[in-house]
Amino acid sequence: MRMKRFFTLAAFAASILAATSHAGRADEYPSKSVTVIVPFAAGGNTDALGRLVAEELDKRLGQRFIVENKPGAGGNIGLGDLARAEPDGYTIGMGTVSSNAINQTLYKTLPYDKEKGFVPLSLIATMPNVLVVNADKLPVNSVQELIELLKKEPGKHTYASSGVGTSIHLAGELLANKAGVTMTHVPYKGSSQAIMDVVAGHVDFMFDNIPTAAQQVKAGKLRALAVTSLDQASLLPDVPTMASVIPEFEATSWHGIFAPPGTPPEIVDKLSKEVQAILHDPAMKAKIEGMGATPVGNTSEEFAQFIDGETAKWAEVIKAANLPLQ
């Protein structure tokens, strides 16, 4: 009985110690600098949003949050490093619709466990794409007119993208799927080269992230037919939505922040709440809206549910398009 009582007390003491240790770890976190992996090149939207949030985390938590760009393989190189990082809160990372939803289906193998994935902290922002056409090549003024032309001349017209499997490419595949049209995909290594070839008339049209495309539209070099968000976009307030012609058509880019699998729940909770507070600050919201994006700042659980829905949606599009797996 004495031995049994001893082990019971020892187990109880151990559980108290573990709980205290975890609580202390969350209270003291962070006690050193934190690395923020951005799995894309510097200068893009993911990098810009990651740096905005990292700068505010610096101020709020009293430690450096240092952005480290690790581009390549559609975000998989940086995410592989994030997955292998010590799950102690001192390495976190950015992710997007491409890297954290589309790639789950597009790639046969990934440099991390698909089942374990990552721990979502918060969705930072969503950003609509916009369908733009070279008006000299395509004399259309609306999505409906474009669909009618594509049906009349199947396979004749071309659309550009920033690469196979990107959200810009899959927005085109979603159009083909929902409208029952066929067109020829012309992939590029990046969005900037793609849109310049649309401006030059080498390609007929494309979906592109709204900040870049809006400049060409306002300069009169391209015609905007529709935005891909369910609501109209602040940068192009007079442009209708795709959903107004094709019900439930939505193809937004999004950017969120993640921790490695196995990160302690109390640290996840602390980081998530800090990021939410940052994104709900009026000054930060204004900065993000100025980029043409919509700030979000949801909970870890809400972000996880959102990712599940996005992964399932794009899996259907990829399979319907019969895209070759990478």
pLDDT digit string, tens, across residues 45-95: 999 999 999 999 999 999 999 999 999 888 999 999 999 999 999 999 999
Amino acid residing at 198: V
pLDDT digit string, tens, across residues 19-41: 444 444 668 999 999 999 999 98
pLDDT digit string, tens, across residues 7-20: 334 444 444 444 44
Please give the structure tokens belonging to residue 66: 């240092």
pLDDT digit string, tens, across residues 252-272: 999 999 999 999 999 999 999
Amino acid residing at 38: V
State the pLDDT at residue 5.
44
Residue-averaged pLDDT of the chain: 91
pLDDT tier, 43 (very low <50, low <70, confident <90, very high otherwise): confident
pLDDT surpasses 80 at 204: yes
32-127+252-321 and 129-244 have identical folds: yes
Domain ranges of the chain: 32-127+252-321, 129-244
Average pLDDT for residues 98-117, to the nearest whole number?
91
State the pLDDT at residue 192.
86
Of 126, 128, 149, 127, which Cα lies nearest the Cα of 205?
A: 149
pLDDT digit string, tens, across residues 237-255: 999 999 999 999 999 999 9
pLDDT digit string, tens, across residues 283-315: 999 999 999 999 999 999 999 999 999 999 999
Number of alpha carbons in the 13 Å side-chain half-sphere of residue 215? 9
**Assigned CATH topology for domain 32-127+252-321:** D-Maltodextrin-Binding Protein; domain 2 (3.40.190)
Q: Domain spanning 129-244: which CATH class is it, in words? A: alpha beta
pLDDT surpasses 60 at 195: yes
Out of 100-109, 139-148, 227-236, the most confident range is 139-148
Of 193, 185, 197, 202, which Cα lies nearest the Cα of 323?
A: 185
